[in-house]
Amino acid sequence: MTMNYKILQNFVKDVIEIKGGIAEEKEEGILDVLLPENLQKKLSFREYQQISFLPNHTQVEFVTYGSPFLDKILSLTQDFGKIARVFIKDVYLKKGGLVKLIEEDFEFPNSKRLGHIMDNQVICSYLLINFKANIISDERKEEVVTTVVDEQTLREAQEMVGLASSPHFHSEKWPELTMKRQPLEKVYNKAKKIAVKLLSKGLREIEDRNLRRLKRDIERLWEYYMGLKKELQKRMVRQLLPEDKEKIFSKLKLIDIEFDRKRYDLVDKYTLNIKLEPTNACRIYLPKMLTEYQVQRKNLKKTINFFWNPLTKDIEPLICEACGKETHSVYLCNNLHLVCPHCYFHCPRCGKTICKKCFPEKCPNCGLSF
C-alpha cells in the first residue's frame, strides 16, 4: 500500500510541476499544491490546496486510483511525448579541405568563383515529424510515415531517421541555435510533401489494383445499360405512335445520364485519398561546419552557405529556390536566386533567359506558359 501511494503521489507531483504548478510534500502522504490560473480551471481547484494520498486524512481532498481528480490529472498528460528534442553530440567536425570539396563537387556555370570567406562551427536543427496516413479508396488503410526536414535549408534529410531514438545522442544540455530556422509553416509544408512522396512509392500497387477494378466495374456497368438501351431500341422499330416514340427517346437519354452518374461514382470510389495527421515531432540538433563561399554574377556578388555534415561526412547539396530540389549545379539569375539547371533555361519560343523563381508560370516576354 505504501509503495503504491508513493508511485501515485510522485506521478501527480511531476504532472503538476511540468504544467507550471508547485507541489511539495509537507507531511507523509500529503501534497501542498499551488496552481497557476490555467490549472485551477482545468482541475477545478483553488489556487492553494492540499491533497492526500492516504485515506486517514479526512480533512483533505483524497486522491486514489479512479478518483475524479486523478482523471483530470491524466487528461493533462495527453500531449506528453508528442514533442521531444535530441542533441547529437561528440561528433568529429572536419576543419580543413572544405573549399576544395566545394570546388570539386559544385558547378557555377554562369557565375565567377570569388572563393572562400570564412569557416565557422554552428549548430543546426532538423524537424522530424511522424504522420499517420489514412489511405482511403474502396478500402481503408493506415500507415505511419516519418519525415525529416533541415530547418535551415528545407532539404529533405531522411538520413536522420532513427537517430532520435538512439540513447547515444541524448543530452541534458541543450545548445543555443546559432543558425536561423525557416518559418515553421514552410518546414511543416515541406514535411507533408515528403510524406506524400514516400507514400506514393508504396501506393503504386494499390493504384494499379484499383485501376483494374475500375475498368472491370465500368465494363459491367456498360454492358448492363447497353442491354437496357437495346431493349428500348427494339421497341423503336415497331410501328408506334409519335408520343410513344418520344417516351422511348426520353428513356434512352435518361439511361445515358444514369450511366454517366454511376461511372463518376465508381471513379470516386476507386480514387485514392490520403489524409495526413501529425502524431508527434522531434527537433534534432547537430553541430556542422559552415563555409561561406562567394560568387559573382555580372557585377553582383552572392555569399552561399555550404554545410559539412559530420554524419554523412560530406558537403550537403544546395537547394534550388524555385523547385526545392537538391542541386550541385548552381545558376544565379539577375536577382541572385540560386536555381538548378531545370529551373534556369531559355524560353523555347522567344529565347529569353528564364528563372522559374522569378517567373514560375510563363515567359514575361512572349507569354508562353511553362
pLDDT tens across 127-174, in order?
A: 999 998 887 776 777 888 899 999 999 999 988 886 655 544 555 555
φ, ψ dihedrals at 136, nearest 5°: -120, 125
pLDDT band at 329 (very low <50, low <70, confident <90, very high): very high
Residue indicated by cell numbers 481532498? 61
Q: Which residues contact 279 (CB under 8 A, 6 or more apart)?
A: 82, 130, 131, 132, 144
For the stretch 37-71, pLDDT in tens is 888 888 888 888 888 888 877 778 888 877 888 88
Q: Which residues contact 246 (CB under 8 A, 6 or more apart)?
A: none
φ, ψ dihedrals at 354, nearest 5°: -115, 130
Q: Residue 259 to residues 225, 231, 252, 253, 268: CA-CA distances in angstroms?
A: 7, 16, 11, 10, 14
Characterise 159 by phi-psi region: left (phi > 0), alpha (psi -120 to 50), beta (else).
Answer: alpha
Q: State the pTM of this model.
A: 0.66
pLDDT band at 2 (very low <50, low <70, confident <90, very high): very low
User: What's the full length of the chain, in residues?
Assistant: 370
- pLDDT attached to residue 100: 93
φ, ψ dihedrals at 298, nearest 5°: 55, -120
Quick check: helix, strand or coil at residue 292?
Answer: strand
- Highest CATH level, class, for 2-80: alpha beta
